[in-house]
Amino acid sequence: MTKADKVQFVINTLEELYPEIPVPLDHKDPYTLLIAVLLSAQCTDIRVNQITPLLFAKADNPFDMVKMTIEEIKEIIRPCGLSPMKSKGIHGLSKILIEKHNGEVPQSFEYLEELPAVGHKTASVVMSQAFGVPAFPVDTHIHRLLFRWNLSNGKSVTQTEKDAKRLFPRDLWNDLHLQIIWYGREYSPARGWKLDNDIITKTIGRKSVLEEYYKK
């Protein structure tokens, strides 16, 4: 199989498995998505989806959010972890959205990445899922799978993102990054991985990964 064949195999398999792609984080607009993605750092999407309704019942827009204290925000989001940093980020970015962007989430990587606690991955998720701008946010699943599939060297998420954008058609990026996440969770997890369930890795997987699996 050539690399192009492998890429096409990934696309075809994921399209067959996930013709309709659910968005992992519950939200109703760009602002609530931005907050949910920020909360998801080192926290499961399931936990975030349990906490955001509690937070958004009090403040689902920047104008209401800045009326809350950082301590009040921190108390609500504590189960998501990193609550001191995240609460400051949520309060701080809400203030900036009001002061600089009329309370709206900007449709720009540059402006998003200027916001407190918002890095490139968070900005990429918002740009792709809220605004439909082609992006390829790389989470732990995508980073792991592109290495397992021998489509990236696994040295950094930055390199994985570059490789993904180089290999996959731009018009598929927004769908693919979600499809790969779901595939990683359901068929190719980091723990409890069963190769027989993982058709993509079984077919195109990196030789060293397969050898290591069979040694266990």
What is the rounded distance in angstroms from the CA atom of residue 46 to the CA atom of residue 23?
A: 12
Residue whose structure tokens are 């890795």: 201
CB 39 within 8 A of CB 74: no
Among 6, 45, 74, 139, which one carries the catalytic annotation? 139
Among 121, 194, 196, 202, which one carries the catalytic annotation? 121
| Catalytic status, residue 139 | yes
Residue whose structure tokens are 């519950």: 26
DSSP state string for 104-156: PPPS-HHHHHTSTT--HHHHHHHHHHTT--------HHHHHHHHHTTSS--S-
Which token pair is 69? 């204290």
Active centre residues (catalytic): 121, 139
